[in-house]
Amino acid sequence: MRAAADTKTRILDTAERLFAEHGYAPTSLRKVIAEAGVNLAAVHYHFHSKQDLLEAVVVRRAAPVNRERLEMLARCEREAGGKPPPVEKILEAFLAPAFRLARECTEGGAAFARLMGRLHAENDALPRILKNNFGPVLTAFHSALHRALPEVPKEELFWRMYFAVGAMAHTLRGDQGLEFISNGACPTPDWQTTLRRLIDFLSAGFCAPVKVRRKRK
């Protein structure tokens, strides 16, 4: 169990870390194999191409995270008993799994979360993978949020989710962003505090009064 990981896993782990750290395009397979201590041909044997390696890296983590999101959503809807759960709880169900993975896991998880934050911007590569993995999740959360906020038009709600995803991805990327904005004055706290801050911020945004006039049919 704790023995040295096999070749395939070592490649996945290393690629995950390097893609997260430097981005997909600038990370060559040779850098990956050098750090993973495997042979170049092994990458092509196990993953066929660099692009497919990226997809393998993504699906390995995305599936559990999205499953947990839906589970947390279902749980908080159950606890609310009939009524729609509070917006904070819905947002927590969406955000917490990703943040925990990002900041709590000992090894690979942290890198992956940064990678996802990156890919939201560098995603030319994997449209259908994202669509398959995240599409149903986004639909489920849009529906939950719509029930919690019936006064917000569906279209506006999509936009608010879009803004929220941007804030989340930016935060998950977790590079020197905040130190930069705050000019170094702002220490990075534990992930629970960051998550708490983000949920408070976004909840208020979702509950904001709607001022944009609805387009007539």
Q: What does 106 bind: DNA, its own copies, none (CB cut-off 5 to 8 Å by kind)?
A: none
Nearer to its own copies, 59 or 186 (CB): 186
Q: How far apart are CA 160 and CA 207, in angstroms?
A: 10
| Residue pair 133/120 in contact by the 8 Å Cβ criterion | no
Question: Which residues fall within 8 angstroms of residue 159, CB to CB, at 6 or more apart?
Answer: none
| Residue pair 198/95 in contact by the 8 Å Cβ criterion | yes
In the numeric block, the tokens 């006064």 are attached to 151
49 binding DNA? (CB under 7 A): yes
133 binding DNA? (CB under 7 A): no
Dihedral of the CA atoms 65, 56, 20, 100 (nearest 10)?
10
Nearer to DNA, 49 or 188 (CB): 49
Give, rounded to a whole angstrom, the gap between the first and last alpha carbons of the chain: 60
Binding to its own copies, residues 113-142 (CB under 8 A): 117-118, 120-124, 127, 130-131, 135, 138-139, 142
1 binding its own copies? (CB under 8 A): no
Min. distance of Cβ 199 from DNA in angstroms? 38
Q: How far apart are CA 155 and CA 173, in angstroms?
A: 27
Q: What does 183 bind: DNA, its own copies, none (CB cut-off 5 to 8 Å by kind)?
A: its own copies
Which residues of the chain form contacts with its own copies (CB under 8 A)?
22-23, 25-26, 117-118, 120-124, 127, 130-131, 135, 138-139, 142, 155-156, 158-171, 173, 175-178, 180-183, 185-186, 189, 193-194, 196-198, 200-212, 215
